[in-house]
Amino acid sequence: IDLATVGEGLGADAVAYELIKQGYKNFMVNVAGASRSIGTNAQGKKWRLGIEDPTSKSPKVFESICALDKAVTTAGSYRNYFKDDKTGEIYSHAIDPRTGYPVSHKTLSVTVISNSAFESDALDTGLLVLGAQKALDWGEKNNYAVATIEYVDGKPLFRYTTKFDP
């Protein structure tokens, strides 16, 4: 059984629910990238998270965000991939279930903010498979905070839905 797609979200939610049950009002939980935050940090400010730069060889923040007491997860195809040495073609680890083949678009990551890390985790990979524009369209239609990073004209492009803006 592989729970990698939603296991992190389930874990983050479980820890967050336990902390809430124990009366904690300010915390941030991160389980392998699935985050839940409530309240403020030690400086009294809302928690800030970084969306990783998918074009950097070392961990670096591409965009800093504030989740506003929500859950945040990101699915990306920039770490796990295969490069064919003969053709130079890059193949994502994300498989499109409609074709059975790796996705072939230039979407590098999709970030989802929702009320639970399980929900965000369940959505982000499917939206990654759809690609940036369809992910953003879905987010607008369904009133979700979705952000994408895609490769356009040799540069990363960050776009997001209206709900992501706050």
pLDDT class of 2 with cuts at 50, 70, 90:
low
**CA–CA distance, 81 with 111 (Å, rounded to integer):** 19
Contacts of 83 (CB under 8 A, 6+ apart): 89, 90, 91
Other Cβ atoms less than 10 A from the Cβ of 54: the count is 19
Q: Can you give the pTM of this predicted structure?
A: 0.92
Residue-level pLDDT at 1 = 58
What are the distances in angstroms from CA 100 to CA 15, 25, 79, 128?
35, 44, 20, 15
Residues of the chain above pLDDT 70, percent: 98
pLDDT digits 0-9 by tens, 29-82: 999 889 999 999 999 999 999 999 988 888 899 999 998 999 999 999 877 777
Residue 146 in this model has a pLDDT that exceeds 90: yes
